[in-house]
């Protein structure tokens, strides 16, 4: 069936039966839920059909909306940019509601104002990389979001990153967070006896147990990540000190990378970066990214770890590149 025909069918269905969910539309039109999401975006973005979501059901609205949108053009632009970041752009928590919110704003704008915002968006960008190649099943997302909101205990089938093992966990879901490049669920795992973070794309299935749980009064997302460099938790707390060369010191000085960081200028124009974190593995990737412009001073085990990595890198680059067939070297860069 041509895409144009399916789009017309979708419009007819929404007009005749307003309030249908993604799952219901997928069943009626014989398409996957992901396809329905994409086609809804096409209706709105390309065909300018005023589609909006309310309580999980989709509607086509009239262009005229009573009331007044008391937002300046720059405020509307800021909202549009925020709603097109990586965290909300792909299938994930709140994407459906972010799209719905923008549809309502669109309905309240004049045609000239809407075109002005669309033109301005092309000249500005807030880029947040999303590394997950997999999309999260809409039904799983809805279950997770409802359980977080209602404090409902969950049974989840989860695929471990390190072992690849798939196991069933009973958890109390505390919060959904976008950290670094992916969405995570922070939850108390009854089996582990501690609070853990689960990557959403590794949650194979989720279902409620019918039980409720009491949210800890002292839990906050900020406190959970307080000792992390970015997102990894666990590990012994220590103070990391890194000497940066004069060449990159200005870059280090201009950015606040961690709440506990301290900077100390050196006589040669460099800077010593100090920070308190739990574990050295995650911050190690960041330090190594600076190459020879960064020297670990403390703790000793971190310095030794970087030295060992540098030794192995030297061994790798001591080999001649000609030892590898040219076809192998180019294979990963071929365009599909």
pLDDT at position 90, please? 66
Residues, the chain: 336
The residue ranking higher by pLDDT, 25 or 54, is 25
Retrieve residue 151's tokens: 């404090």
Q: Where are the domains positioned within the chain?
A: 3-121, 138-218, 237-318
pLDDT in tens, 216-249: 999 999 999 988 999 888 788 999 999 999 999 9
Using the Cα atoms of residue 59, residue 65, residue 66 and residue 67 in order, give the sign of their dihedral.
positive
The top-level CATH class assigned to 138-218 is mainly beta
pLDDT in tens, 6-23: 888 888 888 888 889 888
Asked, colleague to colleague, whether 138-218 and 237-318 share their fold, the answer is no
CA dist 281 and 278 (Å) reads 9
241 φ/ψ sector (left φ>0, alpha ψ -120 to 50, else beta):
beta
Strands (E), the chain: 51-54, 57-60, 152-159, 166-179, 182-189, 194-199, 203-212, 237-244, 262-265, 271-278, 294-298
Asked if residue 81 lies in contact with residue 43, where contact means CB atoms within 8 angstroms, the answer is no
pLDDT at position 288, please? 95
Residue 236's φ and ψ, nearest 5 degrees, are: -75, 135
pLDDT at position 51, please? 81
pTM, full prediction? 0.72
Segment 149-178 shows an average pLDDT of 92
pLDDT at position 33, please? 84
pLDDT in tens, 322-336: 655 655 444 444 444
* pLDDT classification of 272: cutoffs 50, 70, 90: very high
Integer-rounded Cα radius of gyration of the chain: 25
CA dist 186 and 210 (Å) reads 19
Q: Is 194 exposed, middle or buried (0-12, 13-18, 19+ CB in 10 A)?
A: exposed
The pLDDT > 70 percentage for the chain reads 91
- The string of DSSP letters for 142-157 reads HHHHHHHHHTEEEEEE
Segment 242-259 shows an average pLDDT of 95
pLDDT at position 329, please? 46
Q: Rounded to a whole number, what is the largest CA-CA distance in the chain? A: 75
CA dist 285 and 262 (Å) reads 19
Most confident by average pLDDT, 26-30, 68-72, 102-106, 286-290: 286-290
Instruction: Give the lowest-confidence range in 66-75, 87-96, 225-234.
Output: 66-75
Instruction: Give the lowest-confidence range in 9-23, 54-68, 181-195.
Output: 54-68
Architecture of domain 237-318: 2-Layer Sandwich (3.30)
CA dist 335 and 331 (Å) reads 9
The residue ranking higher by pLDDT, 40 or 147, is 147
CA dist 305 and 194 (Å) reads 29
pLDDT at position 330, please? 45
């Amino acid at each position: 069936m041509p895409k144009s025909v399916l789009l017309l069918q979708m419009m007819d269905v929404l007009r005749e039966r307003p309030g249908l969910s993604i799952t219901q539309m997928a069943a009626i039109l014989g398409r996957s839920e992901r396809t329905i999401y994409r086609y809804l975006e096409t209706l709105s973005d390309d065909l300018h059909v005023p589609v909006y979501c309310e309580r999980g059901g989709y509607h086509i609205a009239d262009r005229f909306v009573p009331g007044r949108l008391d937002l300046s053009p720059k405020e509307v632009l800021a909202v549009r940019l925020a709603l097109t970041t990586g965290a909300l752009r792909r299938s994930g928590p709140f994407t459906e509601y972010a799209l719905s919110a923008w549809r309502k704003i669109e309905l309240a704008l004049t045609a000239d104002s809407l075109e002005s915002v669309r033109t301005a968006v092309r000249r500005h960008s807030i880029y947040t990389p999303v590394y997950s190649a997999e999309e999260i099943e809409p039904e799983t997302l809805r279950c997770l979001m409802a359980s977080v909101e209602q404090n409902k205990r969950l049974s989840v089938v989860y695929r471990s990153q390190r072992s690849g093992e798939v196991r069933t966990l009973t958890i109390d879901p505390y919060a959904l967070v976008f950290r670094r490049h992916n969405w995570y669920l922070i939850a108390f795992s009854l089996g582990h006896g501690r609070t853990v973070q689960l990557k959403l794309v590794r949650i194979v299935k989720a279902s409620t147990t019918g039980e409720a749980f009491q949210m800890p009064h002292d839990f906050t997302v900020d406190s959970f990540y307080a000792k992390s460099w970015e997102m990894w938790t666990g590990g012994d707390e220590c103070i990391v000190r890194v000497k940066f060369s004069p060449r990159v010191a200005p870059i280090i000085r201009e950015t606040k990378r961690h709440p506990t960081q301290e900077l100390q200028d050196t006589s040669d124009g460099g800077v010593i970066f100090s920070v308190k974190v739990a574990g050295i593995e995650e911050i190690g990737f960041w330090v190594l990214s600076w190459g020879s412009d960064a020297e670990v001073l403390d703790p000793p085990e971190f310095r030794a770890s970087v030295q060992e990595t540098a030794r192995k890198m030297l061994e790798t680059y001591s080999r001649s590149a000609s030892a590898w067939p040219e076809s192998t070297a180019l294979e990963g860069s071929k365009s599909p």
